[in-house]
Amino acid sequence: MSKSSTILRLFGVFLALSLIAGACGDDAAEPADDAAQPAADDAAAPAADDEGSEPAADDAAAEPMDDEGAEPAAADAAEPADDEGAEPAADDAAAPAEEFDLEVLVFETPALTPEFWDATLAAAAAPIEGVNVVKLVTPDLDRTAYAKQLQASGQFPDVQAALNVNDFVEADLLVPYRDDYLNEHYLFPDATKIDGNAWQTPSGGQIITMVFYNENVFADLGLDVPTTYAEFLDVAQATRDAGFVPISYAGAEPWSASLTLSTIMAVDVLGHDPDWVIKRTAGEVSFSDANVVAAANKWKQFVDEGLVDDGALGVAYDGATNAFLDGEAAMYMMGSWWLGAAGQADFPVGVFPFPSDSGDVVVPLHVGGNLSVSALAEDVDRAMQFAQNWHTDPEVSRFLIESDGLFVYVKGQGAPDLGADVLPIYNEAFAWTTDTSNSVVPPFAWTVNDRMLMPPGFNDEFYAAAQNIFLGDDVVDEMARLDEAFDAAIS
């Protein structure tokens, strides 16, 4: 039992003594239990319309739960009366909550600045008594790898931003969000669930990846936006012949190195079979199947035909971004989080979905949340309340829309609802996700839910495969290696 609950219980004893001594045996009424949570709407939220407007809803976060549940104010047993008579009446408010440091692991980017994290973390903590936020920052953008390092040394943070949660769920390191909270606040409350539990909120969506292009380059070279993969190759080769790097690529960091291969696999494999990962887990399909090898060979074609710079394995995310902004590269395959940065360009930026062979549009849409909560936190209830506050803060949603290109799925907090300032390409990309003629699939080896549940540690193997193919390793051998790694991870 927590310290505050013990104080409440003792105070109830003293109050009962006072009533017994001063009221000559009058029965005291039992107080109502005030820990009941408000009922939540169980109905699934409707999908957003083509314009991106979200239905309005209450923005308030769910009420925090007491550590032990509400204790009744009445005493459990009478104590002998004090020699001095009844105790004087006292205020029955709970004692102040014990203070504790809440460690929050975040990652910083040109969009998600230190100032953003400082302000929003402080706002989430402000309504919760006794919480002192301690911000931890990852040394690079691979926050999952860094969280694993901290966990191995016994320093797993209380709250973590944007992890691959499956690597931690099986170790019982996380606690799930409550269904009543999810149903109350999110348009797609089941989108992030694994075996019935949501370890991250379904608070937003990102396309991983899409193609950004320099409209001036396309206009000067007389190029149309490609709608098939063959047309895409023609456009890329035309830009290369004109002296541009066709596609800016960040190969130095494993996560970003995998993005292009992930996109190709999503379009060519999941676009035809959205349940491919489920079937792979069941042993019904394999990475060595002809269609998967053919998809991976497209990535090899990018490398062999010079569609990405031959030194790109030494280029980090910021370097690839700058190559596009500086006009060196004609196109940039990146997640829709870059929609918020496109306004930095001094040329008009256009977008198109990565083309399939047939021309059918396949959109690799990741739906997920940011913060997960440690089961090892000093005060799990307050850590969870902090995470809930952060996710449902309209200012967080507005910032993530404008600066990080997030498609927000918090009820009542879409871009039109908040009057967010976005570029036209934001609305164009959002419309791809709601167009019923398009196929929307999870990004390969990125989304974590029942449909795209890679075994723990496998994503690192996939990231390595993208870099190995760039370096010239045989595609068939790499796919066979992925089969071995997958089987080992699920065994």
DSSP state letters, 126-161? TTSTTEEEEEEE-SSS-HHHHHHHHHHTT---SEEE
Give the span between the Cα atoms of 236 and 214, in whole angstroms.
12
Give the span between the Cα atoms of 425 and 131, in whole angstroms.
40
**What pLDDT shows up at residue 111?**
87
Do the domains 207-366+443-490 and 100-201+369-411 match in fold?
Answer: yes
- How many CA atoms lie within 13 Å of 123's alpha carbon, on the beta-carbon side? 16
Give the span between the Cα atoms of 366 and 24, in whole angstroms.
67
Mean pLDDT calculated for residue range 26-33: 37
Q: What is the pLDDT of residues 296-311, one digit of tens each?
A: 999 999 999 999 999 9
Q: Give the confidence band of 141 by pLDDT, cuts at 50, 70, 90.
A: confident
Q: What is the pLDDT of residues 415-457, one digit of tens each?
A: 999 999 999 999 999 999 999 999 999 999 887 787 778 888 8
Q: Is the peptide bond before 209 cis (omega within 30 degrees of 0)?
A: yes
Give the span between the Cα atoms of 164 and 112, in whole angstroms.
19
Coil vs helix vs strand at 403: helix
| Cβ-based burial of 251 (10 A; exposed 0-12, middle 13-18, buried ≥19) | buried
Q: Give the confidence band of 95 by pLDDT, cuts at 50, 70, 90.
A: low
Give the span between the Cα atoms of 307 and 309, in whole angstroms.
7
Contact predicate 249/315, CB 8 Å: yes
Coil vs helix vs strand at 85: coil
Query: Could you state, in order of their start, the residue ranges of all structural domains in the chain?
Result: 100-201+369-411, 207-366+443-490
In the CATH scheme, what is the code of domain 100-201+369-411? Answer: 3.40.190.10
Pairing relation of β-strands 362-368 and 204-207? antiparallel
- For 61, 157, 195, 363, the CA distances from 40, given in Å and listed in that order, are 12, 30, 21, 32
Spell out the CATH class of 207-366+443-490: alpha beta
CA 343 to chain CA centroid, Å, is 23
In the predicted model, what is the mean pLDDT of the chain?
84
